[in-house]
Protein backbone atom coordinates (compact mmCIF):
# COMPACT_ATOMS: atom_id res chain seq x y z
CA UNK A 1 0.00 0.00 0.00
CA UNK A 2 1.61 3.23 -1.09
CA UNK A 3 0.85 6.71 0.06
CA UNK A 4 -0.58 9.00 -2.61
CA UNK A 5 1.92 11.37 -4.10
CA UNK A 6 1.16 15.05 -4.37
CA UNK A 7 2.25 14.80 -7.99
CA UNK A 8 -0.61 12.39 -8.79
CA UNK A 9 -3.08 13.90 -11.24
CA UNK A 10 -6.09 13.09 -9.01
CA UNK A 11 -4.77 15.44 -6.31
CA UNK A 12 -5.50 18.63 -8.22
CA UNK A 13 -8.61 19.05 -6.08
CA UNK A 14 -7.62 21.15 -3.03
CA UNK A 15 -9.56 18.91 -0.62
CA UNK A 16 -7.73 15.81 -1.85
CA UNK A 17 -4.41 17.63 -1.75
CA UNK A 18 -5.01 18.75 1.85
CA UNK A 19 -6.03 15.23 2.81
CA UNK A 20 -2.80 13.84 1.35
CA UNK A 21 -0.76 16.52 3.15
CA UNK A 22 -2.45 15.68 6.45
CA UNK A 23 -1.74 11.97 5.95
CA UNK A 24 1.90 12.76 5.19
CA UNK A 25 2.22 14.91 8.30
CA UNK A 26 0.68 12.23 10.52
CA UNK A 27 2.88 9.50 9.03
CA UNK A 28 5.95 11.67 9.43
CA UNK A 29 5.26 12.16 13.15
CA UNK A 30 4.40 8.49 13.67
CA UNK A 31 7.63 7.41 11.96
CA UNK A 32 9.71 9.84 14.02
CA UNK A 33 8.11 8.63 17.26
CA UNK A 34 8.70 4.99 16.28
CA UNK A 35 12.30 5.77 15.37
CA UNK A 36 12.96 7.33 18.78
CA UNK A 37 11.25 4.36 20.45
CA UNK A 38 13.72 2.06 18.71
CA UNK A 39 11.03 0.45 16.56
CA UNK A 40 12.43 1.72 13.24
CA UNK A 41 15.92 2.38 11.94
CA UNK A 42 17.04 5.94 11.53
CA UNK A 43 18.26 7.66 8.37
CA UNK A 44 20.29 5.41 6.08
CA UNK A 45 19.21 2.39 8.15
CA UNK A 46 21.43 3.32 11.09
CA UNK A 47 20.11 2.56 14.57
CA UNK A 48 18.96 5.52 16.63
CA UNK A 49 19.45 5.75 20.38
CA UNK A 50 16.14 5.34 22.16
CA UNK A 51 14.87 8.69 23.42
CA UNK A 52 11.51 8.56 25.17
CA UNK A 53 11.38 12.33 25.60
CA UNK A 54 11.74 12.94 21.86
CA UNK A 55 9.18 10.22 21.08
CA UNK A 56 6.80 11.76 23.61
CA UNK A 57 7.11 15.14 21.88
CA UNK A 58 5.95 13.61 18.59
CA UNK A 59 3.06 11.81 20.30
CA UNK A 60 2.07 15.05 22.04
CA UNK A 61 2.09 16.86 18.69
CA UNK A 62 -0.23 14.22 17.20
CA UNK A 63 -2.53 14.60 20.21
CA UNK A 64 -2.59 18.36 19.71
CA UNK A 65 -3.40 17.86 16.04
CA UNK A 66 -6.29 15.57 16.97
CA UNK A 67 -7.72 18.12 19.42
CA UNK A 68 -7.24 21.18 17.22
CA UNK A 69 -8.73 19.56 14.11
CA UNK A 70 -11.73 18.01 15.87
CA UNK A 71 -14.84 18.50 13.75
CA UNK A 72 -12.81 19.74 10.76
CA UNK A 73 -11.66 16.42 9.28
CA UNK A 74 -13.45 13.94 7.08
CA UNK A 75 -14.49 10.62 8.60
CA UNK A 76 -11.55 8.87 6.89
CA UNK A 77 -9.05 11.51 8.05
CA UNK A 78 -10.35 11.33 11.61
CA UNK A 79 -10.14 7.54 11.64
CA UNK A 80 -6.61 7.58 10.16
CA UNK A 81 -5.40 10.05 12.78
CA UNK A 82 -7.12 8.12 15.58
CA UNK A 83 -5.65 4.76 14.48
CA UNK A 84 -2.17 6.25 14.01
CA UNK A 85 -2.26 7.84 17.43
CA UNK A 86 -3.47 4.62 19.05
CA UNK A 87 -0.69 2.57 17.47
CA UNK A 88 2.06 5.01 18.46
CA UNK A 89 0.68 5.20 22.02
CA UNK A 90 0.81 1.40 22.24
CA UNK A 91 4.39 1.39 20.97
CA UNK A 92 5.27 4.08 23.52
CA UNK A 93 3.70 2.13 26.38
CA UNK A 94 5.61 -1.01 25.34
CA UNK A 95 8.88 0.92 25.10
CA UNK A 96 8.40 2.33 28.60
CA UNK A 97 7.90 -1.22 29.93
CA UNK A 98 11.06 -2.56 28.24
CA UNK A 99 14.39 -2.18 29.98
CA UNK A 100 16.69 0.19 28.16
CA UNK A 101 19.77 -1.52 26.73
CA UNK A 102 22.83 -0.02 28.34
CA UNK A 103 26.28 -0.10 26.83
CA UNK A 104 29.18 -1.32 29.00
CA UNK A 105 31.37 1.48 30.34
CA UNK A 106 35.16 1.53 30.55
CA UNK A 107 35.53 -2.02 29.28
CA UNK A 108 33.55 -3.46 32.17
CA UNK A 109 30.54 -5.61 31.43
CA UNK A 110 27.24 -4.04 32.33
CA UNK A 111 25.85 -5.33 35.60
CA UNK A 112 22.54 -7.09 35.25
CA UNK A 113 19.69 -5.12 36.67
CA UNK A 114 17.67 -6.79 39.34
CA UNK A 115 13.96 -6.12 39.38
CA UNK A 116 12.63 -4.51 42.51
CA UNK A 117 10.47 -6.66 44.71
CA UNK A 118 6.75 -6.15 44.02
CA UNK A 119 6.09 -4.28 47.27
CA UNK A 120 9.23 -2.13 47.20
CA UNK A 121 8.75 1.61 46.97
CA UNK A 122 10.49 3.50 44.20
CA UNK A 123 12.88 6.09 45.61
CA UNK A 124 12.08 9.75 45.02
CA UNK A 125 13.80 11.38 42.04
CA UNK A 126 15.88 13.52 44.42
CA UNK A 127 17.19 10.38 46.13
CA UNK A 128 17.99 8.76 42.80
CA UNK A 129 19.88 11.86 41.65
CA UNK A 130 21.79 12.03 44.94
CA UNK A 131 22.98 8.44 44.40
CA UNK A 132 24.09 9.31 40.88
CA UNK A 133 21.34 7.30 39.23
CA UNK A 134 19.81 8.48 36.00
CA UNK A 135 16.35 9.88 36.65
CA UNK A 136 13.94 9.42 33.77
CA UNK A 137 10.50 10.91 33.68
CA UNK A 138 8.09 9.56 31.13
CA UNK A 139 4.51 10.13 30.20
CA UNK A 140 2.38 7.01 30.32
CA UNK A 141 -0.58 6.58 28.02
Task: For 48-110, give the DSSP string.
Answer: ----HHHHHHHHHHHHHHHHHTTTSS-HHHHHHHHHHHHHHHHHHHHHHHSPPP---STTPPP
109 φ, ψ (degrees, to nearest 5):
-70, 145
Q: Using the predicted structure, report yes or no on whether residue 10 has a pLDDT greater than 80.
A: no
pLDDT at residue 130, rounded to an integer: 62
Q: For residue 6, name the pLDDT band (cuts at 50, 70, 90).
A: low
pLDDT at residue 42, rounded to an integer: 86
d(Cα 16, Cα 21) in Å, to the nearest integer? 9
pLDDT at residue 94, rounded to an integer: 94
- On average, the pLDDT of the chain sits at 78
Span 83-129, pLDDT tens digits? 999 999 999 999 999 877 644 344 444 444 444 444 445 555 556 55
Amino acid sequence: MSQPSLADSDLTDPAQRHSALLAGLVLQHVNMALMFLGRMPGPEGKPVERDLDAASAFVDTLEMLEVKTQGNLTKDETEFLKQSLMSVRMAFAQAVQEPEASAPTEGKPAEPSTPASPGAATPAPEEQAARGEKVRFSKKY
